Amino acid sequence: MSLQGKHALITGSSRGIGKGIALKLAEKGVKVAINYHQNKAAANDTVMRVREQGSDGFIVQADVSRPEDIRRMFNEVQAAFGRLDIFVSNALGELFTYYRPPLELTPEQWDKAVDSQAKAFLVGAQEAANLIGNGGRIVAITYRPGALTGGWQHYIAQGSAKAALESLVRYFAVALASRGITVNAISPGVTEESVLNSLPQDVQGRMRAWHLAGWTPMGRLGTPADIGNAVALLSSEEAGWITGQVIAVDGGASLMNPDSPLEIQRG
């Protein structure tokens, strides 16, 4: 499964899951464009880590909620790399600016969520299609529980935007199939060093305890490296027959039944 000599752009890759993806691809020999919004120091640190893996890359600033920024970002990637093989749409946006329950969410907050997720993927995938050659890879990072359920009330804007993103993945998979370009989404479970760490400490503690008690069958939370491994797999030549899919990378958490107590499910 060689990715040596490939070129990738990963949005939101200065920290967290995006950084884990960048480092894993760099380990496989991929040159990486590290996108950041505000934290330039973190982006530079990620590039340094990429070089420690024996690869190379550069940083590119862009606010993915702004289509003009996305287009400029792809122009910079083209100027630096000449081509692109892998595009990963990962940037989360400013979640807590639209982290509101249904009866309080404003249209402006709704727009922020959609702009940073669904619209960002729409524009990013269109730009990537112009730059990626035949056989390239496009991967979106989603959160399928938020797109399919309604219990996490404050997640309505992000969950709805992720549902739209997943729909776009399927449409683009068909549109680009004739060129051998695959388009897939990865749905991480609860992951360390991600948005989890920005939640209040008591919320973090409860979520960790819940998953370690059995909700994640493999007995731990995910890591950015776990998600990076999944992106590397989907980016490989061997994954060329997989497209239009949302793949759970969650240690089995999505297999558990919310209708039954864990002690019944686990025996």
Q: What is the pLDDT of residues 198-257, one digit of tens each?
A: 777 887 888 888 888 888 999 899 999 999 999 999 999 999 999 999 999 999 999 988
Q: pLDDT class for 193, splitting at 50, 70, 90?
A: confident
Quick check: is 101 in a domain?
yes
Here the CATH number for the domain that contains residue 28 is: 3.40.50.720
pLDDT for position 5: 95
For residue 218, being part of any structural domain is answered with no
pTM: 0.95
Comparing 149 with 11, the larger pLDDT belongs to 11
Structural domain for 91, as ranges: 7-195+223-252
Cα separation, 226 vs 231, whole angstroms: 9
Q: What is the pLDDT of residue 117?
A: 95
Q: What is the pLDDT, as a whole number, of residue 209?
A: 87
**Any domain includes 259:** no
**Is the CB of residue 139 less than 8 Å from the CB of residue 87?**
yes
The confidence score (pLDDT) of residue 259 equals: 83
- The verdict on residue 245 lying in a domain is yes
User: Which one is catalytic: 36, 98, 143, 155?
Assistant: 155
In a domain, 266, yes or no: no
* Structural domain contains residue 148: yes
Counted domains in the chain: 1
- Which of the four pLDDT bands, split at 50, 70 and 90, describes residue 60? very high
Per the domain annotation, does 212 fall within a domain? Answer: no
Q: What is the mean pLDDT of residues 99-112?
A: 96
112 is catalytic: no
Give the Cα separation of 55 and 25 in Å (integer). Answer: 9
**Reduced to 3 states, what is the DSSP secondary structure of residue 135?**
strand
Is residue 162 among the annotated active site residues? yes
Whole-number Å distance between alpha carbons of 40 and 139: 24
In a domain, residue 172? The reply is yes
